[in-house]
A and B are shown apart, each in its own frame.
Chain A
Amino acid sequence: NAGVTQTPKFRVLKTGQSMTLLCAQDMNHEYMYWYRQDPGMGLRLIHYSVGEGTTAKGEVPDGYNVSRLKKQNFLLGLESAAPSQTSVYFCASRRGAYSNQPQHFGDGTRLSIL
């Protein structure tokens, strides 16, 4: 049981390049989330999804796009990377609404934008 898997684990980009971060979960969870973690800022929600085919904005959505074409996958895209997007990105999943079950996190993607 792999849980939540994020790929890649590390990436260095140049300003203006694009890339997609992949999150996959094998727990049949309905809800999925993308966070970024920055020193002194804590974890902040970028986008989330409450089911296949749905997405919604979180606290810091600008500069990112997401897609949830399959229930098990949640993709985070950077169309034109900026140095301010240098961060550690975490994906999480959860069973469903009002389940009082905890969120399960992946190990993160460390992204540097030069």
Chain B
Amino acid sequence: KQEVTQIPAALSVPEGENLVLNCSFTDSAIYNLQWFRQDPGKGLTSLLLIQSSQREQTSGRLNASLDKSSGRSTLYIAASQPGDSATYLCAVSPPQGGSEKLVFGKGTKLTVNP
């Protein structure tokens, strides 16, 4: 059974710092990996999706990498801002079936202090 772990559970950094969030998964047979952001009281917003054949994806100050063989992904946030404060969730989809039944990690709660 696929399990997704995110460490740390919470992270607090000063504004302007570059930071890395970690995600690990137990089964390397995945179709894709997604990073989401969740603001308090809101739903999830997709940030980046990395296909299994890709190594990384970038969007603005965000860069996500994928190492399938080691079962790891990282989300790099450059020059963090208070508006980046949110919970970040990682999710993987299994390769079979195509229904994309995502398996989520429990998230990392990020606080960026001004």
Contacts and interface: CB of A to CB of B under 8 A. Distances in A.
A and B form one complex: yes
Interface of A: 4, 31, 40-45, 48, 50, 56, 58, 90, 92, 94, 97-98, 100-108
Given A42-B106, A102-B49, A31 B99 contact: yes
B104 interface: yes
Interface in B34-61: 34, 36, 41-46, 49, 51
Interface of B: 31-32, 34, 36, 41-46, 49, 51, 89, 91, 98-102, 104-107
B44 A90 contact: yes
Nearest to A105: B43
A24 to B, nearest CB: 14
Contact of B99 (A42, A44, A50, A101): A50
Contacts of B106: 40-42
B43 A102 contact: no
Given A105-B44, A106-B43, A108-B42, A42 B107 contact: yes
